[in-house]
Amino acid sequence: MNWYELQKRNAKVTGWVAVFILLLGFGTAGYELWKNQADLTRSILLATEFLVLSLILFATAWRFNQKAKWKENARTRQERVSFFCDDQELMLKKAAGIDLCYQYYTVDGIPLLTFAEERKPLNKTFDLLLNLGPFLNRSFSVKDSDGNVRLILRQRYGLNSPVDVFMPDGERLARYHMSLKKFQLVVENEGGATIAVAQSEFMSPTFTTCTSDGAPLFAVFKRGMPARNQEYFSSSDDLIHFTWQNQPDKRLYLQIIMVPALLKMMYWDHA
């Protein structure tokens, strides 16, 4: 049963329970008044209690219907959501499982891209037994919602070595330099020039990213929540809030879009 069907079923069941309680309340109050010659005030209070409970259930049923409607609208919107998303907010979730995997979602809960580590069996064994994963050669793939590889990231063995970003055809787009002491990630283009810097204060749950000229790009909030549809996400997810005035060109977008996943992996998850 998918999300839409589940919410519609919950709304239907809750609505019928509300109707039953409402009828039961007025029936009980009427029976008490007619059969047992109960006081009119007592019967009204009894009916009011059932009425309040039924109204709460009706409101709950309406909420379930709204969730179902929201998901149905999100389905139609999914067709126009591409890898180059222009939403102001995105959510970053860590997928369950042994393998390292992060997923970007729109606020509507639509999967946008997946950042996953591609590990050889031998490397996976060393990582599981000796926790040597961060010191070995690492490779990551970035796939869109259709499963197509859009980016490839590679990190050579060593402690805190830089991460190179490649197109699927092998063209190098950028290089990420991470500093554990400064809580800083520097993005360089293929020519070695700095194009963006992500940094955070010590122990701060927020990373802000700006261009080399100081123009804001986005901020990543640890355990942040979006402005809407908060019930879709959990406290373990992170919020990406874009602060740019105009969306950058596609090349710059490709060069910086994996910065939030790298920040989460290196500084918050220490993976």
Q: Say if residue 198's pLDDT is above 70.
A: yes
Assess whether 94 and 188 both reside in one domain: yes
83 domain residue, yes or no: no
Give the tens place of pLDDT for each residue, 144-169: 888 888 999 998 877 778 999 999 88
Residue 179 lies inside a defined structural domain of this protein:
yes
Cross-strand pairs, 94: 102
One domain for residues 56 and 95: no
Quick one: pLDDT at residue 107? 87
In-domain check, residue 232: yes
**pLDDT one-digit tens code per residue, 22-37:** 888 888 877 777 776 6
Which of 78, 104, 123 is the last residue before a domain boundary?
78
> What DSSP line would sit under 178-227, residue for residue?
EETTTTEEEEEETTS-EEEEEE--TT-SEEEEEETTS-EEEEEETT---S
Do the beta carbons of residue 171 and residue 163 sit within 8 Å? no
In a domain, 33, yes or no: yes
Contacts of 259 (CB under 8 A, 6+ apart): 176, 185, 187, 196, 198, 209, 220
Alpha carbon 231 to its chain's center: 11
Terminal-residue alpha carbon distance, the chain: 34
Do 65 and 139 belong together in one domain?
Answer: no
Residues 59 and 122 in one domain: no
Residues 262 and 129 in one domain: yes
Q: What is the pLDDT of residue 8?
A: 79
CA 233 to chain centre: 6
- How many structural domains does the chain have? 2
**Which residues form the domain of 176?**
89-268
Question: According to the model, what pLDDT value does residue 104 have?
Answer: 93
Do both 37 and 145 map to the same domain? no
Inside any domain, residue 95:
yes
pLDDT of 98 higher than 60: yes
pLDDT of 179 higher than 70: yes
How many other C-beta atoms are found inside a 10 Å radius of the C-beta of residue 48?
12
Mean pLDDT along residues 114-135: 71
pLDDT tier for residue 80 given thresholds of 50, 70 and 90: very low
- pLDDT of 71 > 90? The answer is no
Q: In terms of domains, do 183 and 105 share one?
A: yes
Q: Are residues 61 and 174 in the same domain?
A: no
Domain identity same for 149 and 256: yes
SS3 262: helix
Q: Would the pLDDT of 176 be above 90?
A: yes
Residue 202 forms part of a structural domain: yes
Domain assignment present for 84: no
Integer Cα distance of 145 and 104 in angstroms:
10
CATH code of the domain covering residue 94: 2.40.160.200
Predicted confidence at residue 4, as pLDDT, reads 64
Cα–Cα dist 209/200, whole Å:
9
Is pLDDT of 73 > 60? Answer: no
Q: Are residues 209 and 120 in the same domain?
A: yes
What is the pLDDT of the chain when averaged over all its residues?
Answer: 81
Residues 6+ apart with CB under 8 A from 88: 241, 242
Whole-prediction pTM: 0.65
Please tell me whether residues 106 and 200 are part of one structural domain.
Answer: yes
Q: What is the pLDDT of residue 46?
A: 77
Domain boundary among 78, 101, 134: 78
- Looking at the structure, tell me whether residues 102 and 51 fall in a common domain: no
Has residue 53 been placed in a domain?
A: yes
* Segment 202-225 mean pLDDT: 85
